Chains A and B, each alone.
Chain A
Amino acid sequence: MFKSLTEKNERRNQLSIMAQYLNTNFMINTVENEYLINIEKGVVTSVQEGPFVMPSYNFKLTAPKDEWLKFLQPIPQPGSHDIIAMLRRKVLKFDGDLHPLMSHLLYFKLLLASLRPQEKEI
């Protein structure tokens, strides 16, 4: 579901410029599964699919799989178009050390949106 984040394209090259000092890892939890995502200098270097025994990460985003699928639609519906919108609906939970996320909020929003088919460039 999130493994293609490591695939390089022009859009993600541009995104890495927005986060060139960012080195972190974070977990996306879909309730059914987990994805551990590593970022070095703004580039996604690996996406590991769980289950994990003792994963170590900075922060975690948890939402049911069907909510992630709604988010990943080419044109998502209101309330599913943004991770803060999902937070507002209480279908997504942030936890852990949120500093890497909040200090690069637009980067993470656009990184996840880059998984949408035909998602427009900002």
Chain B
Amino acid sequence: MIEKEPISGQYGKFEIDGISHRIYWEEAGEGIPLVCLHTAGSDGRQYRALLNDEKILEKFRVLVFDMPWHGKSSPPENSSIGNYKLSTDLYISQILSFIDGLELIKPVVMGCSIGGRIILHLAIHFPEKFRALIGLQSAGHLDPYYDINWLHRQDVHGGEVCGGIAYGLMAPTSPEKEKFETMWHYMQGGPGIFKGDLFFYKYDGNIGNEIRKIDNSKCPIYLLTGEYDYSATPEETKILADSIGIEMVKMKNVGHFPMSENPEEFLKYLHPVLEKIN
């Protein structure tokens, strides 16, 4: 017999802003709900190591959903190519719909990159709803540093260019096997989806002075950032942490996708955080 993983995957119908969406999610473990948010242009497979980590699964019910348009989740009805743009409000609706749809009580939410940004919005608007929030590669805003139109052009293969962008965001010290898989997820994204997610990351989701509204006493926030990330750098996370009045953790030898590019290294940093939350 083959060795089976403890992960189960399911589909469900979720109402997001009044529209029915067919969403795919995976889960494993029992205990405190820990909802994990994948990065822009990728999908829930990024959390494959967490979903297999015995230590975490003893005390946490880990859940990872693919956002609409990503992974195995469907696009909403009446969609067309080229019009996808993730807004802050839509992203919040997706997360709350998932949590409420599964009747999760006081979950922990952990997000990376765009997920690391949206947890800040959750902290501002719904702190009472969460047991804790964990931001990986979090920054309050990001000024564009390359032309994202290259990510969706009919004369450039989207999988090739998105994979090329994602590859460089990882640490040279991360294992090639995990880096390749992380890049491969990007290569499988649909046309314009990575670019559409970056509308949130680089424009709509930028947080200005609102960051001052975050009250860490209402909901504990933990920030961890990989040293090789040049998108959300440790320096930018530090500015964010200082604004909130908390410490941040700089993770050695990882880049923008810690849970996927170097799970072994990442889990050394995550376990102590989850122990505090538990």
Contacts and interface: CB of A to CB of B under 8 A. Distances in A.
B156 A99 contact: yes
Contact of A78 (B161, B167, B227): B227
Contacts of A87: 145-146
Contacts of B167: 82, 106, 109, 122
A103 B161 contact: yes
19 contacts: A75-B172, A75-B173, A78-B171, A78-B227, A81-B168, A81-B171, A82-B168, A84-B169, A85-B230, A89-B230, A103-B155, A103-B160, A104-B160, A105-B161, A106-B163, A109-B168, A122-B167, A122-B176, A122-B179
B26 to A, nearest CB: 27
Given A75-B173, A78-B230, A88-B230, A105 B180 contact: no
Interface in A94-108: 98-99, 102-107
Nearest to A82: B168
Interface string B104-130: 000000000000000000000000000
Contacts of A102: 150, 156, 161
Contact of B156 (A82, A83, A103): A103
B157 interface: yes
Given A87-B145, A87-B146, A109 B164 contact: yes
Interface in B168-200: 168-169, 171-173, 176, 179-180, 183
A85 B233 CA distance: 11
Among A78, A83, A122, residue most surrounded by chain B Cβ atoms (within 10 Å): A78
A105 B165 CA distance: 8
Contacts of B229: 78
Nearest to A84: B168
Contacts of B157: 103
A121 interface: yes
Contacts of B180: 122
Contact-residue size bin, chain A (C-beta under 8 Å from the other chain): 20 to 34
Contact-residue bracket for chain B: 20 to 34
Interface in A63-122: 75-76, 78-79, 81-85, 87-89, 98-99, 102-107, 109, 120-122
A107 B163 CA distance: 11
Contact of A85 (B150, B161, B163, B168): B168
A67 B233 CA distance: 19
Contacts of A83: 168
B47 interface: no
Contacts of B150: 98, 102
B230 A82 contact: yes
Contacts of A109: 164, 167-168
A68 to B, nearest CB: 16
Given A79-B230, A89-B230, A121 B176 contact: yes
Q: Which 4 A-B residue pairings sit nearest by Cβ, starting from the closest?
A: A105-B164, A82-B168, A106-B164, A85-B230
Interface string B34-76: 0000000000000000000000000000000000000000000
Contact of B145 (A75, A88, A106): A88
A84 B172 CA distance: 14
Contacts of B227: 78
A106 B160 contact: yes
Interface string B229-258: 111000000000000000000000000000
Interface string B141-160: 00001100010000111001
A111 to B, nearest CB: 12
B228 interface: yes
A120 to B, nearest CB: 6
A79 B227 CA distance: 9
Nearest to B229: A78
